[in-house]
Structure 1
Amino acid sequence: MTELTLTSFLQDWQTWAERYLAQGLSTPARHSLQFVRHWQTQAELLGFSDLASLAAQLTDHTISSKQQAQVFQQLIMKMHLLKRQAAGLQLASMVKDMSTEP
């Protein structure tokens, strides 16, 4: 089992989101729903309760397809922001490392 990191979490999200968009929002495949549940658990472990909550809504069979699309859009926006923040942290870390080199 691989270690759960922010990078692996973001990569898993991107891979899944691309597949989900390719298959269509209105008919999520069973494996897609399983992934969302798995990803929800990862979000909780990393402390992203807002993302975990949205993931739970995405697998809720009682909401309409319109609501499901809105939830997915919210997830996309939040994940985009998280990816940008992670990239900023990575860049800051690289700059710090460069400034401490002799």
Structure 2
Amino acid sequence: MKTIVRFRKLSATQATLLTIVMMCLKDLNDIVIDDCEVHVAIEEDCLCTVTALIVIKRGVPIISLCEQLQKHITEEIEAMTPFTVDKVHVVVKHLAM
């Protein structure tokens, strides 16, 4: 899995949030983990925005998988950290065979 954070080193907070998101991605067998990218933006007042660029196996219902992933990421971050998830963007890069 590719992890990209721009303009500065990875903070402990960002690393924690990225780890939680990667665990959520690994929970779903319909996602090809090796080709995924995750971006986390931390805002003021303990808000964060997550962007996950994913590769889905062909034949999987895309919309329901993305909705499930958004909900799962939000629940896990809010349960394990003091952060509130402002947005979870799920971008499907392509379908895998």
> What TM-score, normalized by structure 1, do the two folds share?
0.34
Q: Which has the higher contact order (CA 8 A, sep 6+)?
A: 2
The structure where strand makes up a greater share of residues is: 2
Please tell me whether Structure 1 or Structure 2 has the larger radius of gyration of its CA atoms.
1
The structure where helix makes up a greater share of residues is: 1
